[in-house]
Amino acid sequence: MSKKTLIPIGPYHPLQEEPELFKLYCDGEIVKDIKWETGYNHRGIEKLSESKTYEQVFFLVERICGICSTSHPFAFANAVEEIADIEITDRTKYIRTIIAELERIHSHLLWVGLAGHFLGYNTVFMWAWKYREPVLDLFEMISGNRNSYAMFKVGGVRRDIEEAKIPLIRKILCDARKKIDLLTGAVMDDPVIHARTKGVGILTKQDIIDYGAVGPTARASGLAIDVRKDDPYAAYPLINWKVITAHEGDVFAKAQVRLLEMYESISMIEQCLDGLKKEKEGDISVKVKEIPEGIGNGRAEAPRGEVFHFVQSDGSNSPVRHKIRAPSYVNIATFRKSCIGQTIADATISLAAVDPCYCCTERMAVVYDMNSGEKIMNANELINESVRVTNELKKTIKLQK
């Protein structure tokens, strides 16, 4: 009988930028079991959204995630436009696509940097984040904000991309491509990086299907699922691009998929800029009178995978039900497959490889009895329970003194 040691990763840990807790049960360096707890940062977004008007919800959902702050409004816009049956203009489609793809570039660069940091390769960390800077500057030029762009509204976008700005955007993209070349070279050809990431945290295609993983995590295992292709929205059917896949399913494949996706994104943005020329300037929104009664499903491909928004409307000016599923919610379940049996060093990079984003994933649980259907505990009771436990703990601590 070997005794297992508990190695905690979290609630505050340099590996993850957000509060969460992974409990690695280890025998020596080998991870035997893994459990995770989220819920440190629950913000009640879905409930909040029910008390806001459709226009306000955009600003709210943008703040679900600081990194993929366009994919949530994008999915929400898709859902609301489905309810109201709104046909947006082509110029809007192009602008929305440009914003979403720029976001993918900056999010993937951010991930490459973080992955470097987790491997102890701080030079890649600093370089990737430096190369991300011009992309954020581009955002500032287009939308006025470096993050949380506030570009979306029902039936359109808030700001136009004027003809005068396009040459500069092209130039920045051209520079970005060179820098990504440099970074890709540094990552792809480094034998030490190969030694650290190849064959680590392998997820087979069957694992992906079993766990329902999405986004680059799934595409790195050879499963070509991408909402942009499978359920085309905005300008994605109007331009030429391909879904990047790899087949190994290890950390290296995930890095490869993300790095190559950045090139695809750049080429997509360039095509969208070409498309913008054909459309009339200023034609960026359609008039929306009211949102009728009904339900709408909106999907968007975030940098981490599929974002799903379900919106139910009763004809008033705010949604009666708004359900959000962020990609990390399904992706973090794959940790059981990718981490158990690995060493701690491999497990940490496997955790980081799905690019998890926990705050998007926080949920409130209400416990029901299976048989009777009665509520066993509701929110208030849970809070009272927590207060009771804290008081008890306080008493025991006093006793020890």
Binding interface with other proteins (CB under 8 A): 5-7, 13-15, 26, 28-29, 116-127, 130, 190, 192-193, 195-196, 343-346, 348
**Cα dihedral across residues 158, 164, 166, 169: positive or negative:** negative
Nearer CB in complex with other proteins: 125/358: 125
- Structure-block tokens of residue 366: 């209400």
Number of Cβ atoms within 10 Å of the Cβ of 223: 22
Cβ-based nearer residue to other proteins, 29 or 392: 29
Please say which residue, 199 or 212, places its beta carbon nearer to other proteins. 199
Rounded-to-integer distance, Cα 142 and Cα 165, Å: 8
Compute the least distance from the CB of residue 332 to other proteins, in Å.
18
Q: How many CB atoms lie within 10 A of CB 207?
A: 18
Q: Give the separation between CA 154 and CA 80, rounded to whole angstroms.
A: 7
Question: How near is the Cβ of 37 to other proteins at its closest, in Å?
Answer: 18
State the CB neighbour count (10 A cutoff) for residue 258: 25
In whole angstroms, the minimum distance from the beta carbon of 183 to other proteins comes to 13
The residue length of the chain stands at 401
Q: Given the complex with other proteins, which of 58 and 127 has the nearer CB atom? A: 127
SS3 breakdown of the chain: % helix, strand, coil, rounded to 5? 50, 15, 35
Give the nearer residue to other proteins in terms of CB position, either 198 or 277.
Answer: 198
Enter the tokens of residue 311.
């919106």
Q: How far is the CB of 121 from other proteins (least distance, A)?
A: 4
Taking the least distance from each CB to other proteins, the nearer of 5 and 206 is: 5
Shortest Cβ distance from residue 345 to other proteins (Å)?
5
Residue 246 Cβ vs other proteins, minimum distance, rounded to whole Å: 20
Closest contact distance (angstroms) between CB of 146 and other proteins is 18
Least separation, in Å, of the C-beta of 273 and other proteins?
A: 29
Task: Report the half-sphere exposure of 178 (CA within 13 A, side-chain side).
Answer: 6
Smaller CB separation from other proteins, 125 or 139 = 125
Report residue 156: phi and psi, to 5°. Answer: 175, -165
Asked, as a colleague might, if the bond just before 232 is cis with ω within 30 of 0, I would say no
Query: CA dist 119 to 21, 35, 71, 146, 346, Å?
Result: 20, 23, 28, 28, 10
Distance from C-alpha of 40 to C-alpha of 24, rounded to nearest angstrom: 18
- Residue number with CB closer to other proteins (8 or 232): 8
